Amino acid sequence: MKKSHLLDITKRFPDQKVAVFGDVMLDEYLYGTVSRISPEAPVPILRVDKKEYFLGGAANVANNISSLGGKAHLFGLIGDDHKNRIIKKMLEERAISYTLYDHLKETIQKTRIIASNQQIVRVDSEEEISIHLDIEKSVLSEMGKIAPSIIVVSDYAKGFISAGLLATLKEFVEERKIKIIIDPKPIHKNCYSGIFLITPNTNEAMEMSGAQTIEEAGTRLKKELSSHILITRGKDGMSLFAKGINKALHFPTQAREVYDITGAGDTVAAALSLAISSGASLKDAAILANHVAGLVVEKIGTASVLISELEDILETENRKIRNLDKIKKIVGEEKEKGRKIVWTNGCFDLLHGGHVRYLEQARQFGDVLIVGLNSDESVKRLKGSERPILKQKERAEILSALEFVDYILIFNEENVSYYLKQIKPDVYVKGGDYDIKRINQEEKKALLDYKATIKFIPFVKGYSSSDIIRKIKKGNTVNSS
């Protein structure tokens, strides 16, 4: 899939009007430090340093639609309290229109208490609620005025989403030929039949289907509900079970590191709604949603993804191929998170199985693998005027397709000592034709100056780019044991 095609889809996001239905919540975060245990009970004492509020539940879906460039109108229930005013103020600041019914004694709130970036407890404030028939009538009236291009239902099973409301929405979309996407809860499974797209997470899919595997769950739900099913699988990515297609499509996660999955389902629903209403196929919509999910789980708290962040990924020819300044910034951020940086370098001309195994093993020495790639000019100096066979752009693109390669830096120098001094990787990896005595002395000095670890990986017998080229020239079959 060409990134330019996906980028064209995002350019249509601002034209989309999305009606969002669901349980509206206020997410409160209390940040602080714990230095002692309470004398009253064996519990930690948190000294609060900072308090933040975020839009939660269906309001977070609307917030993500807005941050991705679309127009959202939020429907839900809230209480006649100070939390009501906080939510409305945040919605108005983000240009999110709303129809909120003040039928609750208290607005639903989730308070997360964070000590040293670790959530230690969550406190939920909510009440049992049920939707009134007059709300369903009001919804139809308001929807006619809004004329949405798609509907998202964010079902948290708190009371706003009901069989009656879903029936009302189905009637509305059937007359106007628009689609509904539901982020579901198993308790309402029987109300979802015929919905265009349902997006359970792994646990919800298993509970709703009674299955034991992802494949079985998706296939069974697709058949039972006559709906497309997209199962969100956390660190394992997503799996799409589309009607009319027997084979599931699996999308590996785009996240480099999962820090917080809070609200990830809301973000996926938002991205899917904008993509589908912009004319994207289910596959393209899932790819875009997967990119957005990968961005949001790298953030702490109830976060949203900006359209500029998504476009940055899609506009960049390849997010893995970076210059030195970008690499240095990334390395600094990764080291602050306590992650170990691995460096290796080479020509990687005519990438073969030996290269792949070597790079996979190199990645196992740390958390982030940076590959220094010899430029075309430097390969000619090393290998002769007929090399490289593949230009540096092609070699970089092939390397970037390997999931265990995190970043690629193209260099032109005779050795990489300058880059080692700038980046300061924790681990430096060389192939089996090197040992500690044969490493370039400038590189060795740079490594010793900041006490980097040096590792050697034996070459796999039967693999050599030079041998492959010689065999091709002779017209022989290329085999590797």
Q: What is the pLDDT of residues 408-437, one digit of tens each?
A: 999 888 788 889 999 999 999 988 666 677
DSSP-derived letter for residue 201 is B
Q: How confident is the model at residue 91 (pLDDT cuts 50, 70, 90)?
A: very high
CATH code, residues 324-474:
3.40.50.620
| Rounded CA separation 225/218 (Å) | 11
Question: In the structure encoding, which two tokens stand for residue 209, read together?
Answer: 């289907």
Q: Tell me the domain boundaries of the chain.
A: 3-315, 324-474
Active site residue 266: yes
Strand order in the sheet with 368-374: 407-411, 368-374, 341-346, 427-431, 453-457
Question: In the structure encoding, which two tokens stand for residue 434, read together?
Answer: 């090197």
User: Of 17-26, 107-116, 258-267, 412-421, which gets the smallest average pLDDT?
Assistant: 258-267
Higher pLDDT, 127 or 317: 127
pLDDT score for 366: 92
Number of Cβ atoms within 10 Å of the Cβ of 242: 20
pLDDT score for 473: 54
Percent of the chain with pLDDT over 90: 43
Higher pLDDT, 182 or 250: 182
Contact between residue 342 and residue 379 where contact means Cβ atoms under 8 Å apart:
no
Q: How confident is the model at residue 1 (pLDDT cuts 50, 70, 90)?
A: very low
Give me the architecture of the 3-315 domain, per CATH: 3-Layer(aba) Sandwich (3.40)
pLDDT in tens, 342-368: 999 888 887 777 888 889 999 999 999
Strand 118-125 relative to strand 44-57, pairing: unpaired
Strand partners, 26: 55, 109
Q: How confident is the model at residue 61 (pLDDT cuts 50, 70, 90)?
A: very high
Domains 3-315 and 324-474 share a fold: no
Indicate which residue of 266, 349, 406, 426 is catalytic: 266
